[in-house]
Each structure stands twice: as structure tokens, then as C-alpha cells.
């Protein structure tokens, strides 16, 4: 007796709590291409709630994740052919409130789900059922795994060649994806070094198993690496770019591997890049038989579900810390509602977060009576 809602018949329908789904909603839309998120994005108050097609789910978003690349997306850097207006936000967790007939074979109204799909910065998002991950409950911790956790898992598994005793350097280690790189490298019995910007972040990193933390505000990263790791590091999980990339490259051991996850230090520039000393790159790599590999999650989607299942199992078994930062320590307090996505993006670029930045979307349930 699974409830099935065939959306082709009705513009107005009931969700699983018997409360009516509104006909309009709030969502964030890129209205102008810019790496300045506040300039690029507009909060629309009365967008129509989308209708799910035959193989789709309508998800009421409860938590949405903030990613450094949100501003690359709003700047039009991923697909030059896409012109504004377009929806923004990459990932969400919520419950299914309506679904198409085919989708009802595998999902039911009221089910907790997570997804990765453009357009999550909205109160409701239509997602193809095949792109959705069923969850045991609606929890923000699950959101940390969707992009950030999967990126760390797949990049280290496919490109890191981790083995016991290897030295692994993680830059921005206390951030959304860095926290997972640290823990996964530790599980592989590696020696883990993490860079961060405060003693509080250093304390968090030690609590999740980091062997050596480097607060780059109070310590010279280059000097520490040269003194403590004269032979170099075997793997670098690098997401900062600019000067940090140069330091990490110089710190590589013989046959060392540097994995580029991103270069957040440059995303706010018009070009999206920070200058690096690239003219010496061929000589540096040759001299050490070292390599640089780029990692972009979209190119590894064939392994994505396997990675996510593994991470979910680890989290539920108590073997993985999924740190969530709701912005409680930010000047205006917790990130609640779509209006606060702007503050959350600013907070990320101030480098204040510990763990994954998540925005909660509270929903008032109005009775059908």
C-alpha cells in the first residue's frame, strides 16, 4: 500500500504529513555571471514549485551544503554555454514529498534522501530517482559525504596509492573535504600532516587522528616541512592553490604524488586562479620522478555509489567523524534559511569553518484543516 502520487493529474497535492505543498517557493538563481556570489545570485521569493516527471522525486530540502566551487558555478566557469538565469547549489538532504509513477517503484513519500544535482539552493528540488541516495534519516552529517567525503575517498583511492607508513600532507585539512582526507589517510595507516589557520582547527585535526598540524598563521609551513620531513612527503591532498601549491610541490618526496582537488585561494579572482611558479614545474617533477594529478568528482561518477555506500557504512559504524559547521560562531549566528546562503559562502572564504558548512532550511508545516 505504497502511496503513489501521479503528478500529471493535479497541480495541488498533499505531502506525507497531510500538509499542503505550496504552489510557490523560494530559491536562489544566478542572474548575472560573477565570481562575487552576492552580485551573481538573487533570492527569488515566488518561484513555482516544480512538478516531478514520471521517473522523478520532488524533494523538500532540509539541509543544503556549501562548496567552494559554488562561486565557480555562479561565475560560469563550468559550462560557458549556460547563460543566466540558472539555479545554483550542488547538494541537498531532505524528504520525498511527491513522486512520479515509475519512481514509486523504488521510493516512497516521506523517505529521507540525499542527492548531488545543480539547483539545491531551493525549498524544493526535482531530482531523477536514479540520482538519489536513500538515507536512514534526514541528518546534516549525511550531506558532508555527498561531495566532500566522496571527493576525498575516490581521489585517494584512485590516485593516492596510499600504503602503510606513507607521509600524507593535507592542505586546508580542517575544511569540508580535508577532514575526510585526514581520516581516510589515517585508516590506511599513513602519517598525516595537516595545514590549518587556527589552534582551534589544529585541536579538531588532532581529535580525528592528524599526526602533525601546522597552523600557517603562526608557523612557517615551508620551514616545518623541511625540518621535520627532510625526505619529503609521499602524497599531497591539495585544495588551496597559489603559494600553498608551490610549497607542497617543493615538499614532494621521490616518486611523490600531488593531487589537485581545487585551488580555493584563486576562486575569488576574475580568472579563478592564483599565480604559481609553473615554469620550474617540468624540472621539479623530473628531478623527483614526481607527478601531479587533477581530480574532478564528475569524472568518477561510475564509482560514486560504491564510494558513498562505503562512507555511509563507516559513519554509521562510528568509524568516521562527519563534522558539520552551521555557522553558530559566525557574527550573525547559525545559517538558517536560503537568505543565509550568502553569509555561509562569505564565511567559507574567510576560512572560519571547521568541517562542512551546512545551511538548514526549516519548514513550517501548515495543516490541511
Q: What's the CA gap between 201 and 98, in Å, rounded?
A: 41
Q: What's the CA gap between 105 and 161, in Å, rounded?
A: 40
C-alpha torsion sign, points 16, 19, 23, 24: negative
Q: What's the CA gap between 137 and 153, in Å, rounded?
A: 22
Helix (H) or strand (E) holding 166: none
Model confidence at 173: pLDDT above 80: yes
Q: What is the four-CA torsion angle of 78, 84, 90, 93, rounded to 10 degrees?
A: -170
Which option is the CATH number for 24-138+323-360: 3.30.750.24, 3.90.180.10, 1.10.10.10, 3.40.50.970?
A: 3.90.180.10
- Going by pLDDT thresholds of 50, 70 and 90, the confidence category of residue 101 is confident
Q: Could you tell me the residue ranges of all domains in the chain? A: 24-138+323-360, 146-299
CA distances from residue 363 to 10, 62, 200, 266, 283 in whole angstroms, order as listed: 22, 8, 33, 36, 57
pLDDT digits (tens, 9 = 90+) for 208-221: 999 999 999 999 99
Residue ranges with strand state E in 159-231: 167-170, 191-196, 212-215
Model confidence at 8: pLDDT above 70: no
Model confidence at 201: pLDDT above 80: yes
Provide the b/e sequence for 73-105 (b: ≥16 CB within 10 Å): bbbbeeeeeeeeebbbbbbbbbbbbbbbeebbe
- Going by pLDDT thresholds of 50, 70 and 90, the confidence category of residue 329 is very high
Contact in structure between 241 and 274 (CB atoms under 8 Å): yes
Average pLDDT over residues 244-269: 97
Q: What is the CATH number of domain 146-299?
A: 3.40.50.720
What cell numbers appear for 241 in the block?
A: 592553490
Largest Cα separation within the chain, whole Å, is: 74
Q: What's the CA gap between 4 and 105, in Å, rounded?
A: 9
Mean residue pLDDT across the chain: 93
Model confidence at 323: pLDDT above 90: yes
CA distances from residue 336 to 119, 149, 212, 325, 327 in whole angstroms, order as listed: 18, 23, 35, 12, 9
DSSP state string for 309-361: HHHHHHHHTT-----EE--TTSTT-S-BSGGGHHHHHHHHHTT--SBEEEEE-
Question: What pTM, to 2 d.p., does this model score?
Answer: 0.93
- Going by pLDDT thresholds of 50, 70 and 90, the confidence category of residue 6 is very low
Amino acid at each position: 500500500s505504497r502511496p503513489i502520487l501521479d503528478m500529471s493529474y493535479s497541480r495541488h497535492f498533499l505531502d506525507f504529513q497531510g500538509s499542503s505543498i505550496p504552489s510557490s517557493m523560494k530559491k536562489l538563481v544566478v542572474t548575472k555571471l560573477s565570481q562575487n556570489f552576492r552580485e551573481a545570485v538573487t533570492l527569488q521569493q515566488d518561484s513555482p514549485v516544480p512538478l516531478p516527471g514520471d521517473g522523478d522525486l520532488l524533494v523538500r530540502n532540509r539541509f543544503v551544503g556549501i562548496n567552494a566551487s559554488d562561486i565557480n558555478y555562479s561565475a560560469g566557469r563550468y559550462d560557458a554555454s549556460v547563460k543566466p538565469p540558472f539555479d545554483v547549489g550542488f547538494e541537498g538532504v531532505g524528504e520525498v514529498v511527491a513522486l512520479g509513477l515509475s519512481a514509486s517503484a523504488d521510493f516512497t513519500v516521506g523517505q529521507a534522501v540525499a542527492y548531488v544535482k545543480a539547483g539545491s539552493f531551493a525549498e524544493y528540488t526535482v531530482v531523477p530517482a536514479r540520482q538519489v541516495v536513500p538515507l536512514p534519516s534526514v541528518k546534516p552529517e549525511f550531506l558532508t559525504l555527498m561531495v566532500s567525503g566522496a571527493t576525498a575517498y575516490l581521489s585517494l583511492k584512485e590516485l593516492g596509492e596510499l600504503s602503510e607508513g606513507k607521509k600524507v600532507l593535507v592542505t586546508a585539512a580542517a575544511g569540508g573535504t580535508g577532514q575526510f582526507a585526514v581520516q581516510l589517510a589515517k585508516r590506511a595507516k599513513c602519517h598525516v600532516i595537516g595545514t590549518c589557520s587556527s589552534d582551534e582547527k589544529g585541536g579538531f585535526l588532532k581529535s580525528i587522528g592528524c599526526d602533525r598540524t601546522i597552523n600557517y598563521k603562526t608557523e612557517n609551513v615551508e620551514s616545518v616541512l623541511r625540518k621535520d620531513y627532510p625526505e619529503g612527503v609521499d602524497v599531497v591532498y591539495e585544495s588551496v592553490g597559489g603559494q600553498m601549491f608551490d610549497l607542497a610541490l617543493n615538499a614532494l618526496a621521490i616518486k611523490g604524488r600531488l593531487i589537485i582537488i581545487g585551488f580555493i585561494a584563486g576562486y575569488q579572482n576574475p580568472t579563478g586562479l592564483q599565480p604559481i611558479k609553473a615554469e620550474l614545474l617540468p624540472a621539479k617533477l623530473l628531478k623527483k620522478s614526481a607527478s601531479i594529478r587533477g581530480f574532478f568528482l564528475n569524472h568518477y561518477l561510475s564509482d560514486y555509489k560504491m564510494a558513498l555506500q562505503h562512507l555511509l557504512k563507516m559513519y554509521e559504524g562510528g568509524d568516521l567523524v562527519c563534522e558539520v559547521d552551521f555557522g553558530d560562531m559566525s557574527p550573525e549566528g547559525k545559517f538558517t534559511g536560503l537568505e543565509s546562503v550568502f553569509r555561509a559562502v562569505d564565511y567559507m572564504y574567510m576560512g572560519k569553518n571547521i568541517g562542512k558548512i551546512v545551511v538548514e532550511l526549516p519548514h513550517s508545516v501548515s495543516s490541511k484543516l
